[in-house]
C-alpha cells in the first residue's frame, strides 16, 4: 500500500468508529443489547462495498443529485460513506442512467442503505449463529456482510433482482472472504431450495408481504421488512411466522426504502388490509399486522383517544 492508501485506510477506521459512536446514542434498537452487531459494524469496512461513483441522496438546489467520485475526492467520499443517516445511491432508473451521465433526478433503484437503518433492522432481526437466513435486496452486499458476521455465510442466502448488482456484491463479499449464496433473481419468490428459513429480511419495501416468504418460513421465524403504508412512507415490520404460511407482527418505526420491483405500482390501501383512520395515524407501536389464509390485515390495537 502507498502512504496515501495507508492514510485513507486509517481515516476510514476513524470514521467507522465515529459512526458507531453516533449510533451508540440511540436508546432503542440499533446496538442496544446486541454487542455482536457493534463488533460486526466495526469489523466490516463499509467503503469496500461502495462503488467509486455514487449519487448523493440529498438533491442540490436545482433538484439534481450530484455524483461524488472517490478517485477525485477520496476524503469527501469516505465522509459520505460513514454518515450514519445517509444512504448512498448506487443505481438510478434500473441502471439506464450511469454515474458518468452526471447529476440526475432519475428514480433511485439501488443504494447502500443508511448505516443506522441497516443496524436497526439487524437489531430487530436478532439473528443467531444457528439460523438459516434469507435476505431480499442484496444491493451492494454490505448488509449481507454484517449478517454473515453473525450467521455462518453458508447459512445465508441473499437475493438481488439486478444481475449486475448481484455479481458485484458476490465479488465484494468474496473479497472479504465471505461466500454466502448470492442469487440473481426475484426475491418476492424467496429462495425455496434452502427453506425453511428462521430469519427473513428484506432491504426493499413491500406493499404486501409476499406469500412465498411466509411459506418458506419455519415456525417462529422472524421476518423484518419495510412495509409501505398510508403514512406516505414505509414502516419497519417485525413479524413472527407461524410456519403455516401466516404470521403476526408489529410496526417498529418509520423508514424509507425503494420498493421491490414487482410492487412499484400503487394499490388501494383498503385492499392491502389497512384500516381507515379518521385523523392522524396512531404511532407505529399501535398496530398489529397479521397474515392469515393469504390475506394481510393491519389493525390499530390501542383505542384512539382524541381530545375534544
Ligand atoms: C436499498 S437497496 C439494498 C441495500 C443493501 N441492503 C445494501 O446494504 O447495499 C434495495 C435493493 O433491492 C433490490 N430489489 C428490488 N426488487 C427486488 C426483488 N424483487 N428481488 C430482489 N431484489 C430486489 C434492488 O435492486 C436494490 O438493489
Render pLDDT for 41-97 as a digit per residue (tens, 0 to 9): 999 999 999 999 999 999 999 999 999 999 999 999 999 999 999 999 999 999 999
Domain that holds residue 250: 126-300
Q: In what order do the strands lie in the sheet with 133-136?
A: 181-184, 156-160, 133-136, 197-202, 217-228, 234-241, 247-255, 287-292, 295-300
The cell for 207 is 406493499
Does residue 118 belong to any structural domain of this protein?
no
Residue 151 and residue 247 in one domain: yes
Cβ 159 under 6 angstroms from ligand 1: yes
The cell for 145 is 456482510
**Is the separation of the CB atoms in 183 and 141 below 8 Å?**
no
CATH of the domain at 269: 3.40.50.150
Report CA(258)–ligand 1 centroid distance (Å): 8
Residue 107 and residue 151 in one domain: no
Does residue 306 belong to any structural domain of this protein?
no
The residue whose C-alpha atom lies closest to atom 20 belonging to ligand 1 is: 187
DSSP 222-275: EEEEEEE-TTSSEEEEEEEE-SSS-EEEEEEEEE--PBPGGG-S---TTTTTPP
Residue 217 and residue 157 in one domain: yes
pLDDT of residue 279: 84
Residue 161 and residue 269 in one domain: yes
Residue 36 and residue 65 in one domain: yes
Residue 215 and residue 290 in one domain: yes
Q: What is the pLDDT of residues 109-138, one digit of tens each?
A: 999 999 999 999 999 999 999 999 999 999
The count of structural domains within the chain is 2
Residue 48 and residue 20 in one domain: yes
The cell for 139 is 444491493
Does residue 270 belong to any structural domain of this protein?
yes
| 271-291: average pLDDT | 94
Candidate from 138, 140, 159, 225 with most ligand 1 atoms within 8 A of CB, to mutate: 138
Does residue 307 belong to any structural domain of this protein?
no
Beta-bridged to residue 247, according to DSSP, are 241, 291
Cβ 81 under 6 angstroms from ligand 1: no
Cβ 144 under 6 angstroms from ligand 1: no
Cβ 261 under 6 angstroms from ligand 1: yes
Alpha carbon separation from 201 to 117, 137, 246 (Å, rounded): 13, 9, 16
Does residue 134 belong to any structural domain of this protein?
yes
Q: What is the 3-state secondary structure (H, E, C) of 145-202?
A: HHHCCCCCHHHEEEEECCHHHHHHHHHHHHHCCCCCEEEECCHHHCCHHHCCEEEEEE
Residue 186 and residue 281 in one domain: yes
pLDDT at 304 over 90: no
Cβ 257 under 6 angstroms from ligand 1: yes
Residue 144 and residue 211 in one domain: yes
Does residue 308 belong to any structural domain of this protein?
no
| 7-16: average pLDDT | 96
Does residue 225 belong to any structural domain of this protein?
yes
Candidate from 112, 204, 224 with most ligand 1 atoms within 8 A of CB, to mutate: 204
Residue 150 and residue 108 in one domain: no
Residue 255 and residue 153 in one domain: yes
Amino acid at each position: 500500500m502507498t502512504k496515501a492508501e495507508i492514510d485513507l485506510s486509517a481515516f476510514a477506521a476513524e470514521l467507522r468508529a465515529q459512526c458507531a459512536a453516533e449510533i451508540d446514542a440511540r436508546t432503542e434498537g440499533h446496538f442496544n443489547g446486541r454487542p455482536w452487531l457493534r463488533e460486526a459494524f466495526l469489523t466490516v469496512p463499509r467503503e469496500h462495498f461502495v462503488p467509486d461513483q455514487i449519487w448523493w441522496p440529498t438533491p442540490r438546489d436545482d433538484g439534481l443529485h450530484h455524483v461524488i467520485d472517490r478517485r477525485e475526492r477520496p476524503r469527501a467520499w469516505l465522509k459520505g460513506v460513514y454518515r450514519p443517516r445517509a444512504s448512498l445511491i448506487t443505481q438510478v432508473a434500473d441502471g439506464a442512467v450511469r454515474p458518468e451521465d452526471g447529476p440526475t433526478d432519475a428514480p433511485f433503484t439501488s443504494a447502500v442503505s443508511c448505516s443506522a437503518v441497516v443496524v436497526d433492522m439487524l437489531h430487530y432481526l436478532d439473528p443467531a449463529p444457528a439460523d438459516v437466513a434469507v435476505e431480499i435486496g442484496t444491493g451492494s452486499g454490505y448488509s449481507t456482510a454484517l449478517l454473515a458476521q453473525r450467521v455462518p455465510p453458508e447459512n445465508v442466502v441473499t437475493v438481488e433482482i439486478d444481475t449486475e448488482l448481484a455479481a458485484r456484491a458476490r465479488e465484494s463479499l468474496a473479497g472479504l472472504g465471505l461466500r454466502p449464496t448470492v442469487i440473481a433473481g426475484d426475491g418476492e419468490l424467496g429462495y425455496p431450495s434452502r427453506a425453511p428459513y428462521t430469519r427473513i429480511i428484506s432491504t426493499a419495501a413491500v406493499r404486501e408481504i409476499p406469500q412465498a416468504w411466509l411459506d418458506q418460513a419455519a415456525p417462529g421465524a422472524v421476518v423484518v421488512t419495510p412495509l409501505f403504508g398510508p403514512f406516505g412512507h414505509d414502516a419497519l415490520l417485525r413479524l413472527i411466522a407461524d410456519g403455516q404460511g401466516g404470521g403476526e407482527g408489529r410496526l417498529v418505526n418509520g423508514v424509507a426504502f425503494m420498493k421491490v420491483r414487482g410492487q412499484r405500482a400503487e394499490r388501494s390501501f383498503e385492499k392491502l388490509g389497512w384500516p381507515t383512520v379518521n385523523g392522524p395515524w396512531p404511532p407505529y407501536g399501535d398496530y398489529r399486522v397479521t397474515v392469515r389464509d393469504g390475506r394481510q390485515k393491519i389493525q390499530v390495537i390501542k383505542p384512539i383517544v382524541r381530545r375534544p
